[in-house]
Structure formats: structure tokens, C-alpha cells
A and B are shown apart, each in its own frame.
Chain A
Amino acid sequence: EVQLVESGGGLVQPGGSLRLSCAASGFTFSSYEMNWVRQAPGKGLEWVSYISSSGSTIYYADSVKGRFTISRDNAKNSLYLQMNSLRAEDTAVYYCARTEQLVPPSTYNWFDPWGQGTLVTVSS
């Protein structure tokens, strides 16, 4: 069964740091691009960051650029999100999501599956 399981969320003070992890199983992790997507309480979905299968290409949303760092360890089938200088507006459930796509040369792609999410609360 294809599965993504996030961990590492919790309560942190403004300005603090937290590292999220996403453990992948049931598929060849090293072959897939991965993402972090977050959802503030009662709000919609916001894409946060992307990493290519090798880790050589990385993108961030403007709202987290310079504060968050995405990484992966293909040997451990794991995705990470290092979050520094946290703000109240970073409070959200953070999901990891696999990029799935049609067979090349098609470039159609989507997120599937998603993990169950981990809650990050930034508050004093």
C-alpha cells in the first residue's frame, strides 16, 4: 500500500524552529517528486515547497522562502521540512504529497497520495 506518514508537528513559540518528517512506503520513493502543502485552521490549501526526485531542484512559496528548507533522504525513504523563524501565520496542518504524472512526454501532473498531516502551532 502506498503510504505517506508525517511527524514532527507540535507547539512552538514565534521565532522558533521545527523539523517535519514524512516517511514514505509502498513505492519507489527515489523516483518521485515530492511536495509540502499546508492548511491553516478553517482555511484552504496552500502549496509550500517542492523537491525533485534527486533533490537537485527545489522550489518554495514566497511566504516561506528564506525560512523553510525542504530536503529528502532517498536511502531512508524520507522527506523533510526544516522550518525556522516561525510566525503565527505558519500555524497549519502540514501535508506531504507525492507528485504523480502521466507517462512522458505528457506533463500533466497532480498530487496523490497525501499523508494524514501533522499540526504545527506557532504561539507564545
Chain B
Amino acid sequence: DIQMTQSPSSLSASVGDRVTITCRASQSISSYLNWYQQKPGKAPKLLIYAASSLQSGVPSRFSGSGSGTDFTLTISSLQPEDFATYYCQQSYSTPPVTFGQGTRLEIK
């Protein structure tokens, strides 16, 4: 199984900050990497698919990059509604689909 490791596990930042979350795969997954946002008590929401494609309706301050084993999710200017937990997910070698452990983004 492909293991996905996110860093950091938690992060404190302020409104307006630029934030980067990293996801590393245990083997190359090409660009088969997706990012989700989850707020407390809510279902995950797709942000980025295929490593860098922005899902329709997602603000342009969100961007994704990377290929192979190393990927990043960047929020260019944090907004109050962006404080949530973020998960990466690989869809290269399935089953099983695997997720990163999550990165909790908190208000500083």
C-alpha cells in the first residue's frame, strides 16, 4: 500500500498569511494526488484534483503543485473560513485509496 505523510500535522497561522502544507507519498504516484478540506462536523470537500487542478467553485487562493512523491497545497492569503483540516489522498495505486493523516490549520 502507498503511504501518504503530511506535514505539519498542525499549523497556527493568521488571517492574510501564506500557508503551505506538504504531502509525501511512499512511492511515485505521478500526479494522482487530491486535496480535501474538512470543517468540524462536516464532510470533506474537494479542493484540488490531479495535483494542481482547482475544483470548480474553489477560491483561487488555493493552489496545488508537485508530482512523483512530493506535493504541496498552498493558500496564498488565509481567510477566516479556511481554518479547517486538510487531507491529501492518492488515487494512483488502488485499492486501497489512501489518505494522509491530516493537517489541522488553526488561528494564531
Contact = CB atoms under 8 A, between A and B. Distances in A.
A46 B99 contact: yes
A110 B96 contact: no
Given A108-B32, A110-B49, A110-B89, A47 B98 contact: yes
A108 B49 contact: yes
Interface residues of A, number: 23
A112 B97 CA distance: 14
Given A35-B97, A95-B43, A115-B43, A109 B91 contact: yes
A103 B95 CA distance: 21
Contacts of A108: 31-32, 49-50, 91
A61 B95 contact: yes
A110 B91 contact: yes
Interface string A14-57: 00000000000000000000010000000011110010000000
A102 B45 contact: no
A112 B55 contact: yes
A117 B43 contact: yes
Interface of A: 35, 44-47, 50, 59-62, 95, 100, 102, 108-117
- Nearest 6 Cβ contacts at the A-B interface: A114-B43, A59-B95, A47-B97, A110-B34, A112-B46, A110-B49
